[in-house]
Structure 1
Amino acid sequence: MLSAQQNNIRNLSLSELENFFAEIDEKKFRAKQVYEWLWQKHAGSFDAMTNISKDLRSKLAEHFSLPALTVNTTQYSADGTVKSRFETFDHHFVEGVLIPTEERKTACVSSQIGCSLSCKFCATGKMERLRNLTFDEIFDQVALINEQTERIYNKHLTNIVFMGMGEPLLNYSNVLKAIDKISAEDGLGMSPRRITVSTAGVAKMIKKLGDDKVRFKLALSLHAANDKKRHEIMPINDSNNIKSLIEALNYFYKQTKNEVTFEYILFRDFNDSQQDAEELVKIYRQVPADLVNIIEYNPIDGASFARPDEETIEHFMKYLESHRVNARLRRSRGKDIDAACGQLANKDSF
């Protein structure tokens, strides 16, 4: 017997759907109607396809599954951030966040259920990686958060960041297929330039992004500017050291002409000194980077890190700016509902 994913109707292209309708003696235009329900109207079930006859809906249900993501629970932060826990067809949970500002409405989405990288400062890193999300599950996160945005703000999403649970480049094919569908005219129609994929640093796959000439933006979670410190907090640095990442990022830029963003969380008395800032400037100058996002640390259970005081943060930022680094301090949002950077962990506090 086929699993829900194996006979998932969303694995079919429009032409394959047309062939199916021809086989069951249905008119070809019905395939386009169903396809629009799947990708533009975001139907969560065959019953939701209201301009399709009940008989045809029954035939679709006999031949296919539609294992759509559903919203399990939702939390609302005092600052307007909205965190949703989504449930998969096989009853796993994954989190996504709507981050609203005056100028932007951003969806922060996940690529895996759990994570295998064990970064010391990240709540998701303490979880077991159960499986990759499929391309349509990733698409569903974006579509459902877009529906929230329209309902709450009467606006569409403006940006998407792959900075939720999991390492996107370890789910490479599903992430790229999801982005293709999100940016397609017969999908959500969002510009790839408004999509950012953030990686902890998988050098081989960064080069593959270059070979595939991707059009979306890339962010590297650096968080320490020398190998010794980076190894302490990010075990992936053992096999993907800073030198290999610099080489991969330069290759990526050469192939795509897409500038890179660095992400750098400040930890008190660990990576917040002037020497750390100097080392960060050196890396910045070796890569065609357009921005360094300096991020406030958000506390998680079981971690001993702390946020630097305001004076230290200000000194760090001023040093970068005085050395012509395009740096931005990113104030965390959604901390009161564990929705900020590094806090996503499927907690039962909903």
Structure 2
Amino acid sequence: MKSDKKNIRHLSLPAIQEYFNTIGEKPFRAKQVYEWLWLKHAGSFEAMTNLSKTLRSSLEEHFTLPALKIDATQHSEDGTIKNRFRLHDGHLVEGVLIPTESRQTACVSSQVGCSLSCKFCATGFMDRKRNLDFDEIYDEVALLNQQSLESSGKKLTNIVYMGMGEPLLNYKNVLQSIERITAADGLAMSPKRITVSTAGVAKMIKQLGDDQVRFNLALSLHAANDKKRSEIMPINETNNLQGLIEALNYFYKATQSQISFEYILFRDFNDSQKDADELIKIYRQVPADLINIIEYNPIDRARFQKPDEEAVEKFMQYLGKHRVNARLRRSRGKDIDAACGQLANKG
């Protein structure tokens, strides 16, 4: 039976104050509750220790607090930590903490599964069950931040929406989660430290421009002509490269926010000089800061292979020779299926 109790985190501070007013509680109590929800990240009403037992029971009776829980954790040899999170309805998603000398990056999921069926991605072979609510995405970040503090004594420095799902197909919750993450009474993270990655939903990229967002945008490109891209990313059939180039330019003109490209190298598919030329051509048409060239991480159900080191080096040198700002992103957490394209709730 579905509960008619409201998720308390879906209420604004004024709405909580109004509720406290109706039950004859002092207004400052509402502020205490709000701090527990977002600043102190309480996982239950019971944890709100500066409230009376009676008030905690009353909140329990009238509201829900469906906090995310860590279901399983795996540690990679390179320091990467993968977490499987359990949602209140039993669904599972994954989030990854990626530590380097200069950064502590959280990679978070925005959907349970994914509807885009990209042919190289483990999540793409799963069905999309549902979108994550904004408070569930916030929970992922808060738990990864706590994990970062416990494992290294450092707070998160960066957040990437590059986990399971397509963020722009959960537009409202993703933007609301970023609003909470960047709020002074949330995690107070700078939006410039947040990157949302998309497989390319042109209409929603333009919407980001209209909404004047301040976070960075990454386009998962992976092939630089429509024929190849449609072969590995079915979304390209309705969001072709020309449409995406126009949308990215619209986004940049409206926000001046940083744009980058993600390009996974697949052996004998998109790693030739001709592919590099096509990539350069797209790079020249968009005010992109960077192309992240990504090592492919083979998965059981995909036919792709990783190019050998020589081919990767040759591709990178060719981009460099043509004054393209490209960086080779070595995969982290491969031994625990935590690397790019490997998230599939395998635990």
Same fold (TM over 0.5): yes
Q: Distance in 2 between matches of 1:168 and 1:56?
A: 37
Matching of residues 262-277 of structure 1 within 5 Å: 262-277=261-276
**Identity, % of aligned pairs?**
73
Q: Are 1:280 and 2:258 counterparts?
A: no
Structure 1 residue aligned with 2:196: 197
Q: Structure 1 runs of 4+ off > 3 angstroms?
A: 1-4
Write out per-residue CA displacement over residues 256-312 of structure 1, whole angstroms, 9 at most, x where no aligned residue. Answer: 011310000000000000000000000000000000000000011111100000110
Structure 1 residue aligned with 2:24: 25
Q: Which amino acid aligns with 1:134?
A: D
Q: Which amino acid aligns with 2:13?
A: L
Q: Are 1:48 and 2:47 counterparts?
A: yes
Structure 1 residue aligned with 2:258: 259
Q: Distance in 2 between matches of 1:112 and 1:127?
A: 11
Q: Which amino acid aligns with 2:210?
A: D
Q: Which amino acid aligns with 1:239?
A: T
Query: Could you say what secondary structure the match of 1:172 adopts?
Result: helix
Q: CA deviation at 1:38?
A: 0.1
Q: Distance in 1 between matches of 2:259 and 2:63?
A: 41
Q: Are 1:225 and 2:224 counterparts?
A: yes
Structure 2 residue aligned with 1:133: 132
Structure 1 residue aligned with 2:97: 98
Write out per-residue CA displacement over residues 189-211 of structure 1, whole angstroms, 9 at most, x where no aligned residue. Answer: 00000000000000000000000
Q: CA deviation at 1:3?
A: 3.6
Q: Which runs of 5+ in 2 are unaligned?
A: none
**Structure 2 CA distance for partners of 1:299 and 1:3, relative to 1, 3 Å:** farther
Q: CA deviation at 1:124?
A: 0.1
TM-score normalized with structure 1 length: 0.98
Q: Distance in 1 between matches of 2:300 and 2:132?
A: 25
Q: Distance in 2 between matches of 1:3 and 1:267?
A: 48
Q: Distance in 2 between matches of 1:70 and 1:308?
A: 38
Q: Distance in 2 between matches of 1:259 and 1:113?
A: 27
Write out per-residue CA displacement over residues 20-39 of structure 1, whole angstroms, 9 at most, x where no aligned residue. Answer: 11100011100000000000
Matching of residues 77-92 of structure 1 within 5 Å: 77-92=76-91
Q: Distance in 2 between matches of 1:99 and 1:222?
A: 22
User: Alpha carbon RMSD of aligned pairs, Å?
Assistant: 0.8
Structure 1 residue aligned with 2:238: 239
Structure 1 residue aligned with 2:249: 250
Q: Distance in 1 between matches of 2:257 and 2:128?
A: 30
Q: Which amino acid aligns with 1:319?
A: Y
Q: Which amino acid aligns with 2:222?
A: H
Q: Which amino acid aligns with 2:264?
A: I
Q: CA deviation at 1:159?
A: 0.2
Q: Are 1:113 and 2:112 counterparts?
A: yes
Query: Could you say what secondary structure the match of 1:46 adopts?
Result: coil
TM-score normalized with structure 2 length: 0.99
Structure 1 residue aligned with 2:11: 12
Q: Which amino acid aligns with 2:40?
A: K
Q: CA deviation at 1:339?
A: 0.1
Q: Distance in 2 between matches of 1:134 and 1:168?
A: 12
Q: Which amino acid aligns with 2:183?
A: A
Write out per-residue CA displacement over residues 203-243 of structure 1, whole angstroms, 9 at most, x where no aligned residue. Answer: 00000000000000000000000000001100000000000
Write out per-residue CA displacement over residues 162-193 of structure 1, whole angstroms, 9 at most, x where no aligned residue. Answer: 00000000000000000000000010000000
Q: Distance in 1 between matches of 2:256 and 2:157?
A: 22
How many residues align? The count is: 347
Q: Which amino acid aligns with 1:140?
A: D
Structure 1 residue aligned with 2:181: 182
Q: Which amino acid aligns with 1:145?
A: L
**Structure 2 CA distance for partners of 1:37 and 1:194, relative to 1, 3 Å:** same
Q: Are 1:290 and 2:300 counterparts?
A: no
Q: Distance in 2 between matches of 1:346 and 1:210?
A: 33
Q: Which amino acid aligns with 2:188?
A: G
Query: Could you say what secondary structure the match of 2:46 adopts?
Result: helix
Structure 2 residue aligned with 1:319: 318
Structure 1 residue aligned with 2:336: 337
Q: CA deviation at 1:2?
A: 5.2
Q: Distance in 2 between matches of 1:81 and 1:90?
A: 27
Q: Which amino acid aligns with 1:122?
A: C
Query: Could you say what secondary structure the match of 2:96 adopts?
Result: strand
Structure 2 residue aligned with 1:300: 299
Q: Distance in 1 between matches of 2:155 and 2:279?
A: 36
Q: CA deviation at 1:116?
A: 0.2
Q: Which runs of 5+ in 1 are unaligned?
A: none
Q: Distance in 2 between matches of 1:281 and 1:259?
A: 18
Q: Distance in 2 between matches of 1:2 and 1:47?
A: 23
Q: Distance in 2 between matches of 1:118 and 1:302?
A: 12
Q: Distance in 2 between matches of 1:54 and 1:259?
A: 48
Q: Which amino acid aligns with 1:234?
A: M
Structure 2 residue aligned with 1:68: 67
Q: Distance in 2 between matches of 1:336 and 1:259?
A: 31
